[in-house]
Amino acid sequence: MKKRKNILKIAIDSPAAAGAGTIGRAISKHYNLFYLDTGKIYRYIAYLKLNFPKKFNNKFLKSKISSLNKKDLSNKNLLTDEVGTLASLLAKIKSIRKIVHKLQLTFAYNPPKKYRGSCLDGRDITYKIVPDADFKFYITANIKIRAQRRFKELKNLKKNISYGEVLKSIKKRDKNDLNRKVSPLKKTKDSLLINTTNLNKRACFLKIKKIIDRKLDK
Ligand code: C5P
């Protein structure tokens, strides 16, 4: 695989709805990094399974993933709870992870030339996809706060779901993602813990920016 030299790489792992996407996007914009929310790829796979159940196999998936573009990943239908739950079940399958792995490596190590580097967030980014990242963060928040944030997001999208259902679903997804054998969510020793429970978006951004600038300015 082609790797660009001297690029800035940021790796983030986090449980569902902890704010990693918001922070990842803000940090990427600030440092001109190519940002990839890898959860969206697993969600896209779940979406394909729900919409093309008869065609869904590894060959179909490989062809869809190889022609994946930003528009596919910004599809609002990927944000539903149903898609998130199925994504977490499909993400346990080794052959599926293998297909996604290659794509993530390309974006992490060979981002488009106009970017200074890359920032990926997901579940196994800090130890499997970009183990040599310049900065590693584990972003988390209290489960009730996470459920509240996701509930608000889904309400804004006019989804008919209760807070209780969202909480239950996030709990189930945490359990799946933390306990699975393949690529479980974990905080590596070299990742910095950022707890966003009592921090707003701006405060999270500034906290991470301070950490990055301190090292970059050396
Ligand atoms: O981040 P998001 O909640 O959208 O991810 C959906 C699901 O995709 C997660 O619950 C997780 O099971 C899976 N995932 C993964 N590895 C990643 C990113 C997401 O297994 N790197």
Read off the pLDDT of residues 119-152 as tens digits, 9 standing for 90 and up: 999 999 999 999 999 999 999 999 999 999 999 9
Query: Could you identify the residue written with the tokens 């196999």?
Result: 57
The verdict on residue 144 lying in a domain is yes
For residue 183, give the ligand 1 atom closest to its CA.
20
Which regions of the chain are under pLDDT 70? none
Distance 98 CA to ligand 1 centre (A): 14
Distance 217 CA to ligand 1 centre (A): 33
List CB contacts of 38: < 8 A, sequence separation 6 or more.
Answer: 100, 104, 120, 121, 122, 123, 125, 129
Cβ(123) to ligand 1 under 6 A?
yes
Which pLDDT score is estimated for 69?
Answer: 87
For residue 88, give the ligand 1 atom closest to its CA.
12
d(CA 76, CA 20): 18
Which pLDDT score is estimated for 118?
Answer: 98
Residue 130 belongs to what domain range? Answer: 8-211
Which pLDDT score is estimated for 2?
Answer: 86
pTM as predicted:
0.96
The verdict on residue 217 lying in a domain is no
| Closest CA to ligand 1's atom 14 | 39
- Sheet with 33-37, side-by-side order of all strands: 33-37, 117-122, 8-13, 135-140, 192-195
Distance of alpha carbon 21 from the chain centroid? 7
The verdict on residue 70 lying in a domain is yes
Instruction: With beta carbons less than 8 A apart as the criterion, state whether 122 and 39 touch.
Output: yes
Closest CA to 46 of 56, 38, 54, 33: 56
The verdict on residue 218 lying in a domain is no
The verdict on residue 104 lying in a domain is yes
d(CA 56, CA 52): 6
Name the E strands within 85-125. 117-122
Which pLDDT score is estimated for 38?
Answer: 97
Distance 122 CA to ligand 1 centre (A): 6
The verdict on residue 197 lying in a domain is yes
d(CA 30, CA 50): 36
Distance of alpha carbon 3 from the chain centroid? 21
Count the domains in the chain.
1
Cβ(81) to ligand 1 under 6 A?
no
d(CA 126, CA 180): 17
For residue 91, give the ligand 1 atom closest to its CA.
20
The verdict on residue 131 lying in a domain is yes
Which pLDDT score is estimated for 82?
Answer: 93
The verdict on residue 216 lying in a domain is no
| Closest CA to ligand 1's atom 5 | 39
The CATH number for 161's domain is 3.40.50.300
Cβ(14) to ligand 1 under 6 A?
no
Cβ(42) to ligand 1 under 6 A?
yes
Which pLDDT score is estimated for 70?
Answer: 85
Dihedral of the alpha carbons of 78, 81, 82, 83, in degrees to the nearest 10: 30
Mutate to test the pocket of ligand 1, among 44, 123, 149 (most ligand atoms within 8 A of CB): 123
